[in-house]
Amino acid sequence: MSNGARVGAAIPTSSQQVADGLRSVGYLPSESTALVSYLATKLGKPVLVEGPAGVGKTELAKALARYLDRELIRLQCYEGLDEAKALYEWNYRKQLLRIQAEASDAGWEAVQQDIFGEEFLLARPLMSAIASEQPVVLLIDEIDKTDQEFEAMLLEVLSDFQISIPELGKVSSTTRPVVLLTSNNSRELTEALKRRCLYLWLDYPALEHELEIVKLHAPDLPETVAQRLVEVIGMVRELDLKKPPSIAESIDWARALLLLGANDIDTQTFNETMSVIVKHRTDMDIVAERVGLKLAREAEPADAQPA
């Protein structure tokens, strides 16, 4: 259950330090993101991160792990996730083999004591995060996808950082993991869970901030194109779409434009590459109609094309 000899980075002492640290590993945090991450490392409280899909909630956890030089343990939630998949499970097969191997000569008592040992325990993400000797970053992704029962089970883990196993007793953490829970807000989480967390709302970034992010991930993209790109993305987000483009999609688009060697985003390039940022048939119609036409109007009449 140990993670080898990793040496975690020193605990940061100000939110500015966290901001710089996250920057250095390629994540550009907003002011509140840096502050809340700092508080999380300092107080050891879990952070509930909410926001629309694709604004970098999961990425934040990865960046924190890189910055703090800790292992990232990820628990992806889904409907029907249960304790056996999240906490621990007994390794039935191994237990069975042991019983078969020993049944003849040892008594039941001895075998029973034997088969409920750590050797037969399969640690799942929450368990490994708590039992780890080195501090880790634990990411509980899309907590809103699970059932309320699972949330209730998490409470013990999140408030005391311990897990009770009936046969073995309590396993408590020796180090405080940094815990991030993400939610797309598809369901209201229980008060009890929220109570135990710090709250961070991540939204689509402001224009300049997104420009910075795009430039970080596609440094070769010409300045003017990058500027234009974030403006267009902003326009697209204003529309009533099924799935507005996220930061991840802006970055993909920037890379696509880079590959195509585009020098400007005109109607033609836009229509050709639109599928990178818009992922629904109906959305594409809306975007082509509204944004495509606007681009055409802005361009010189010579190369304006009907959308």
Partner 1 sequence: MPSPPDPIDFRPGNATRGALDDASRDGERATEGVAAQLLALGEQLREEGVAVGTSELLDAFAVLREIPWTSQGEFREALAATLAKSQDDRRVFELVFDRFFFRAVELAAVSECVEREGTTNAAAALEELSETELDALRLQIAAAIRDGAEGAMRDLARLAIATFGAQEQGSGVIGVDVQRIRRALGLRAEPQPELPPEDPRREGLPRESLRRFEAMLRRELERSQVQRTGRLPPARPLGDLDRALPSGPLADLAAVHRVVAQLRRRLATQGKQSKGRRRHAHVDVRRTMRASLQTGGVPVELRFRPQRPRRPEIYVLCDVSTSVTSASVFFLSVLHALHDAFRKMRSFVFIERISEVTDVFERERDFKAISERISSDAGVADISGYTDYGRVWSELLEQIGDELHPRATLIVLGDARTNGRDPRAELFAQVATRAGRTFWLNPEPRLYWNYGDSVIAAYEQWCTAFECWTTTQLEDFVNALTRPHLAPMR
Residue 207 CA to residue 292 CA, distance in Å, equals 20
| 279 contacts partner 1 (rule: CB under 8 A) | no
| 10 contacts partner 1 (rule: CB under 8 A) | no
User: Site map for partner 1, 237-266, x if CB under 8 A?
Assistant: ---x-x------------------------
- Write down the least CB distance from residue 159 to partner 1, Å: 9
Q: Are 160 and 173 in contact (CB under 8 A)?
A: no
User: Site map for partner 1, 128-167, x if CB under 8 A?
Assistant: ----------------------------------------
| 210 contacts partner 1 (rule: CB under 8 A) | no
Write out the DSSP string of 158-220.
HHH-EEEETTTEEEE-SS--EEEEEE-SSSPPPHHHHHTSEEEE--PPPHHHHHHHHHHH-TT
- Write down the least CB distance from residue 86 to partner 1, Å: 17
Residue 284 CA to residue 103 CA, distance in Å, equals 66
Sign of the torsion angle spanned by Cα atoms 212, 52, 40, 140: negative
Which member of 201, 208, 259, 305 binds partner 1 (CB under 8 A)? Answer: 201
Query: How is the beta sheet containing 178-183 ordered, strand by strand?
Result: 71-76, 136-141, 178-183, 47-50, 198-201
CB atoms within 10 A of CB 288: 16
Q: Are 199 and 57 in contact (CB under 8 A)?
A: no
- Three-class DSSP category at 122: strand
Total binding residues for partner 1 by CB under 8 A?
Answer: 37
Residue 115 CA to residue 104 CA, distance in Å, equals 15
User: Site map for partner 1, 46-65, x if CB under 8 A?
Assistant: --x-x---------------
| 207 contacts partner 1 (rule: CB under 8 A) | no
- Write down the least CB distance from residue 281 to partner 1, Å: 9
Residue 182 CA to residue 49 CA, distance in Å, equals 5
What residues numbered 63-122 form the site for partner 1, per CB under 8 A? 79, 92-93, 96, 100
| 187 contacts partner 1 (rule: CB under 8 A) | yes
Q: CB under 8 A: which stretch of 20-28, 110-118, 190-198, 251-259 binds partner 1?
A: 190-198
Which member of 22, 28, 35, 278 binds partner 1 (CB under 8 A)? Answer: 35
Residue ranges that bind partner 1, judged by CB under 8 A: 14-15, 31-32, 35-36, 38-39, 42-43, 45, 48, 50, 79, 92-93, 96, 100, 185-188, 191, 194-201, 240, 242, 282-283, 285-286
